[in-house]
């Protein structure tokens, strides 16, 4: 910083006042520069880190959103898939990016599950990130092959008493896995978890009869259910899915009430300037207009354009406690 030169012959009290004025002027200039930069943001492409492989369920919501967000901001929002370690690798990368608003994170409830199932998490989801906005949610569906004997929860329980029912998920510690463990912990249903490296192979094995059930997000199985390759046994939540209106809720088939949705949100590294966060929040809300909402709805998502940072913070805090308890009771660990 440039130092203010004051003639030493000036009266000491006047010299002190001049130095103070200079310091205030420098601070104001720095502040105005920061405000100007925030007003100009963005001036170059933005990277949106997606911590899972390309072509998966994450991309079906992240890419349409990124494309529309870029149009609103006037700069491309480039999806950067950084898979590894259940989402931890890309998330850690985003957490340590420059806090200038040019590297963002597209996350879901793995932020609330990973800290409980792995000791190798190097980021703190509440301290290392600033929530910008919720983007959307989707339901978890329990699907079986069309000729699967059980039609309701009572029949599921009866089958499981003879032999635990195997259920496939995208992997150990994922939200579908924890949902399955949660159901087993509050009901007489006996299950055996079969982890896969992604949803697609678990769906394939369910169709082929290698496992009894698959727990997956709605966009991952809806087309198979609609094509008759799978039968939707139930959706988890308080209401039926708009995309799968014929699939009952878990409560409707006689199971316990499980009010849970997988959520997706936009995050920024901590310390990103508040004006930049505000700019991103406003742009995201504009991006989630009726056209994009309809497009995502057809894919099985429900847009949550009015849930900002406070809502994301509350949901994250709730799920950290919820899944931490499930992980502890089920003794789940990825280490």
> Residues 73-106, buried b or exposed e (16+ Cβ, 10 A)?
bebbbebbbbbebbbbbbbbbbbebeebbbbbbb
In angstroms, rounded to a whole number, what is the distance separating the alpha carbons of residues 113 and 111? 6
Residues 25, 68, single domain; the answer is no
In a domain, 320, yes or no: yes
- State yes or no: pLDDT of 63 exceeds 50: yes
CATH number at 289 reads: 3.40.190.150
Interatomic CA distance for residues 34 and 101, integer angstroms: 13
- pLDDT of the residue at 31: 46
Report the pLDDT value the prediction gives residue 215, as an integer from 0 to 100: 94
Q: Which residue has the higher pLDDT, 108 or 6?
A: 108
65 and 121 in a single domain? The answer is yes
Contact 131, 221 (CB under 8 A): no
Q: Which residue has the higher pLDDT, 17 or 173?
A: 173
Q: Are residues 148 and 101 both part of a single domain?
A: no
Q: What's the pLDDT tens digit per position in 224-277?
A: 999 999 999 999 988 999 889 999 999 999 998 888 889 999 999 999 999 999
Q: Are residues 54 and 121 in the same domain?
A: yes
Given pLDDT bands bounded at 50, 70 and 90, which one contains residue 164? very high
**Strand 77-81 relative to strand 165-169: parallel, antiparallel, unpaired?**
unpaired
Asked whether residue 256 is domain-assigned, the answer is no
Percent of the chain with pLDDT over 90: 59
Domain membership of residue 9 as a residue range:
1-30
The per-residue pLDDT for 17 is 53
Q: State both tokens at 45.
A: 């492409």
Distance between CA atoms of residues 262 and 216, nearest Å? 10
Average pLDDT over residues 287-302: 90
191 contact partners, CB below 8 Å, separation of at least 6: 160, 164, 165, 166, 167, 180, 181, 183, 184
Nearest to 108 by CA among 312, 291, 308: 312
Could you report the per-residue pLDDT of 300-323, keeping only the tens digit for each?
A: 899 987 777 888 999 999 999 888
Domain count, the chain: 3
Residues 148 and 194 in one domain: yes
Q: What is the mean pLDDT of residues 177-188?
A: 91
Across 165-183, average pLDDT: 89
Q: Where are the beta strands (DSSP E) in the chain?
A: 46-50, 77-81, 103-108, 129-144, 165-169, 191-195, 213-217, 231-235, 261-269, 302-303
DSSP 249: B
* Model pLDDT for residues 82-99, shown as the tens digit of each residue: 988 878 899 999 999 999
Q: Which of 2-6, 146-150, 263-267 has the lowest mean pLDDT?
A: 2-6
Share of the chain above pLDDT 70, in %: 88
Same domain, 129 and 144: no
The pLDDT of residue 7 is 52
Q: Is the pTM of this model over 0.85?
A: no
The answer as to whether 108 is a domain residue is yes
Report yes or no: 179 and 167 within 8 Å, Cβ to Cβ: no
The verdict on 173 and 221 lying in the same domain is: yes
Mean pLDDT of all residues in 18-35: 48
Q: What pLDDT sits at residue 9?
A: 54
In a domain, 255, yes or no: no
Considering the domain boundaries, does residue 252 fall inside one? Answer: no
**What's the chain's average pLDDT?**
87
Question: Which 8-state DSSP code applies to residue 308?
Answer: B
Q: What average pLDDT does the segment 94-117 reach?
A: 93
Q: Determine the Cα–Cα distance for residues 268 and 132; give it in Å rounded to an integer.
A: 7
CB-based contact 258:155 (threshold 8 Å): no
Per mean pLDDT, which range of 2-11, 62-71, 125-134, 325-334 is the poorest?
2-11
CATH code of the domain in which 185 resides: 3.40.190.10
CA dihedral for 97, 101, 102, 107, sign (positive or negative): positive
């Amino acid at each position: 910083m440039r130092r203010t030169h004051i003639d030493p012959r000036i009266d000491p009290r006047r010299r002190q006042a001049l130095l103070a004025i200079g310091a205030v002027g420098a601070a104001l200039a720095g502040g105005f520069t920061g405000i100007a930069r925030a007003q100009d943001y963005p001036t170059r492409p933005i990277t949106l880190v997606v911590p899972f492989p390309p072509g998966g369920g994450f991309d079906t919501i992240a890419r349409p959103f990124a494309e529309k967000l870029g149009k609103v901001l006037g700069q491309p929002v480039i999806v950067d898939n950084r898979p590894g370690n259940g989402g931890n690798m890309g998330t850690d990368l985003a957490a340590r990016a420059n806090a200038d608003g040019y590297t963002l994170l597209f996350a879901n409830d793995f932020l609330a599950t990973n800290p409980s199932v792995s000791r190798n998490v190097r980021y703190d989801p509440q301290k290392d990130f600033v929530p910008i906005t919720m983007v959307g949610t989707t339901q978890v569906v329990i699907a079986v092959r069309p000729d699967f004997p059980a039609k309701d929860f009572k029949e599921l329980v009866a089958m499981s008493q003879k032999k635990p029912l195997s259920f496939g998920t995208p992997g150990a510690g994922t939200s579908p896995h924890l949902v399955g463990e949660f159901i087993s912990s509050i009901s007489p249903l006996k299950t055996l978890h079969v982890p896969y490296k992604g949803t697609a192979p678990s769906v394939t094995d369910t169709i082929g009869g290698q496992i009894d059930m698959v727990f997956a997000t709605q966009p991952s199985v809806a087309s198979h259910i609609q094509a008759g390759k799978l039968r939707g046994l139930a959706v988890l939540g308080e209401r039926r899915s708009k995309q799968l209106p014929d699939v009952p809720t878990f409560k409707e088939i006689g199971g316990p009430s499980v009010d849970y949705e997988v959520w997706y949100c936009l995050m920024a590294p901590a310390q990103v300037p508040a004006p930049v966060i505000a700019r991103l929040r406003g742009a995201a809300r504009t991006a989630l207009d009726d056209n994009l909402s309809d497009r995502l709805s057809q894919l099985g998502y429900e847009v949550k354009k009015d849930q900002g940072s406070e809502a994301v913070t509350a949901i994250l805090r709730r799920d950290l406690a919820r899944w931490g308890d499930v992980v502890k009771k089920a003794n789940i660990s990825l280490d």
